Amino acid sequence: MHKEDIISLLEGYKNGDVNLDEALKRLINLPYKDLDFAKLDYHRGIRVGYPEVIYCEGKELEHLKKIVEDMLKQDKNILATRVSKEAYNAICEITDNLIYSEVARVCVINPKETKKVGLVAVVTGGTADIKVAEEAAITLETFGNNVDRIYDVGVAGIHRLFNNLDRIRRANVVIAVAGMEGALASVVAGLVDVPVIAVPTSVGYGANFNGLSALLTMLNSCAAGVSVVNIDNGFGAGYIASTINKRVAKGVE
């Protein structure tokens, strides 16, 4: 539930379009719905502007199905991340109204048409980073942001990045996704006047240490304006970029 839903509900009750029982029924799950094994935070959209997202990895499939089943009652977009094929099949037992990206391991359940604002550029060093970048991009689109995907423009062929600078500079925020040594974020941040959110990926040979080398490079960036999320955390980058982009797009000072 979002602030707009509460306002609409209260106005409906005031005008007599919604009776007391219906209003109570719709508010009863605030601040959360207790499923015993899970506490579904339906109040989150009101508090922070974004609904709870289902992180599927590690969840029992029966628990996941019950969570989805209850969240569907809200009749809103549901975003699920780290969705394995097994988790996807389990969700399909509840509903077939969904969009699944096997590359990003992201599922949008009960998808709704969302008005999109602003622009976020999602940039990758290589094609092996696309799975993480797509998690960020789909998160952004689900939350109502326009996205420009600019993939495979890493420092090993830096002319590719320069050829796409005009596109990158049009964005309100840039997400730079890279593995190996993770230099992409520093290079991009030195060329643009907007925030750069760096996402280290676990792509790379042994001394990459499953993304640790890229993480340390990004944290030690000599270019100002870089913030860093956790290794392979495309969702986290998309979430942060959305909060920035929407404030810029709406002219919030």
| The model's pTM | 0.84
- First vs last C-alpha separation in the chain: 26
pLDDT at 209: 94
Could you read off the pLDDT of 149-169 as tens digits, one per residue? 999 999 989 999 999 999 999
Q: What is the pLDDT of residue 5?
A: 67
Q: pLDDT digit string (tens) for 54-83? A: 999 999 999 999 999 888 888 788 899 999
Q: Higher-confidence residue: 11 or 106?
A: 106
Tell me, what's the pLDDT at 112?
A: 87
| Mean pLDDT, residues 21-32 taken together | 65
| pLDDT score at 252 | 57
In which band, very low, low, confident or very high, does the pLDDT at 19 lie, cut at 50, 70 and 90? confident
Contact between 225 and 189 under an 8 Å Cβ cutoff? The reply is yes
CA distance 117 to 97: 25
Confidence band, pLDDT 50/70/90 cuts, at residue 38: confident
- Written as six digits, the tokens of 189 are 């941040």
Q: Which of 17, 12, 11, 56 is nearest to 38 (CA)?
A: 56
Query: How confident is the model over 237-251, as a mean pLDDT?
Result: 92
The DSSP string of the chain is --HHHHHHHHHHHHHTSS-HHHHHHHHTT-S-EE-SS-EE-TTHHHHHSS---EE-TT--HHHHHHHHHHHGGG-S-EEEES--HHHHHHHHTT-S-EEEETTTTEEEES------EEEEEEEESSGGGHHHHHHHHHHHHHTTEEEEEE-S--GGGHHHHHTTHHHHHT-SEEEEEE-TT-THHHHHHTT-SS-EEEEE-S-SSGGGGGGHHHHHHHHT-SSTTEEE--TT-HHHHHHHHHHHHHHHHTT--
Give me Rg for the CA atoms of the chain.
20
Residue 247 has pLDDT above 80, yes or no: yes
Q: Measured between alpha carbons, how far is 235 from 129 in angstroms, rounded to an integer?
A: 14
Q: How confident is the model at residue 128 (pLDDT cuts 50, 70, 90)?
A: very high
Looking at the chain, the whole-number percentage of residues with pLDDT higher than 70 is 91
pLDDT in tens, 181-202: 999 999 999 999 999 999 999 9
Regarding predicted confidence, which is higher, 7 or 153? 153
pLDDT at 1: 52
Altogether, the residues listed in the chain come to a count of 253
The residue ranking higher by pLDDT, 36 or 78, is 78
Averaged confidence pLDDT in the chain: 88
Asked if residues 182 and 160 have their Cβ atoms less than 8 Å apart, the reply is no
- pLDDT band with cut points at 50, 70 and 90 for residue 10: confident
CA–CA dist 192, 165 (Å, integer): 9
- The reported pLDDT for the residue numbered 250 is 82
Structure confidence at residue 138 (pLDDT): 96
